[in-house]
């Protein structure tokens, strides 16, 4: 997923072919893994926290103000995207999505950090905090999707996030976000 996102990022902002963005991203990630060590992991996590929990929500708030808040967003987004039609056919699918969303992430980057825990109490606290911090982030991602659909209805879903970045982030800040 990370490499795919880097491919689309290189395609959207740099005009490079998707495969070249994936290749360059893979090279950069491998160098960081091989030479960075635990200190690089901590620095990267702090940097990502600032981007994901300060910068991206700020950009989301700018886009939300352009559509005149939540009321304007609801008016601009097609009704089928914001209505919830629960029935006997899809209730279990909906419940499974909620269950999946509430589970702490179990991909390799989180497992790497969980294995760094010194004892089971710290691991429990890390899992709890991961789930707690993930909920607002999921809400921002959901909001970004709706805002992208409201502001550019025909945009490719893979480039919706980059659309908001290129529209609202100042150039120097955009470079920082891309990095």
pLDDT at 83: 77
Q: CA-based Rg of the chain, rounded to a whole angstrom? A: 18
pLDDT at 179: 65
pLDDT at 59: 86
Q: Average pLDDT, whole number, for the chain?
A: 81
DSSP 157: G
pLDDT at 121: 87
Residue 137 pLDDT exceeds 60? yes
Q: Residues 44-53: what's their mean pLDDT?
A: 82
Cα separation, 26 vs 4, whole angstroms:
10
Cα separation, 101 vs 174, whole angstroms:
29
> Buried (b) or exposed (e) across 132-149, using 16+ Cβ within 10 A?
eebeeeeebeebbbbbbb
Asked if 145 contacts 40 with a C-beta cutoff of 8 angstroms, the reply is: no
Distances (CA, A) of 169 to 2, 60, 115, 133, 164: 21, 10, 36, 24, 8
Cα separation, 32 vs 44, whole angstroms:
10
Residue 131 pLDDT exceeds 70? yes
Concatenated DSSP letters of 70-103: HHHHHHHS-HHHH-----TTTHHHHHHHHHHHHS
């Amino acid at each position: 997923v990370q490499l795919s996102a880097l491919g689309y990022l290189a395609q959207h902002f740099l005009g490079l072919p998707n495969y070249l963005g994936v290749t360059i991203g893979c090279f950069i990630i491998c160098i960081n893994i091989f030479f960075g060590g635990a200190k690089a992991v901590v620095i990267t996590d702090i940097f990502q926290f600032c981007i994901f929990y300060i910068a991206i929500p700020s950009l989301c708030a700018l886009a939300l103000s352009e559509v005149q808040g939540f009321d304007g967003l609801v008016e601009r987004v097609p009704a089928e995207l914001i209505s919830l039609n629960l029935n006997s056919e899809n209730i279990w699918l909906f419940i499974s999505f909620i269950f999946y969303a509430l589970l702490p992430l179990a991909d390799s980057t989180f497992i790497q950090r969980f294995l760094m825990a010194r004892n089971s109490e710290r691991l429990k606290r890390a899992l709890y905090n991961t789930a707690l911090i993930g909920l607002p982030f999921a809400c921002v991602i959901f909001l970004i999707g709706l805002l992208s659909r409201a502001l550019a209805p025909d945009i490719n879903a893979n480039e919706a996030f980059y659309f908001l970045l290129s529209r609202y982030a100042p150039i120097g800040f955009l470079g920082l976000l891309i990095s």
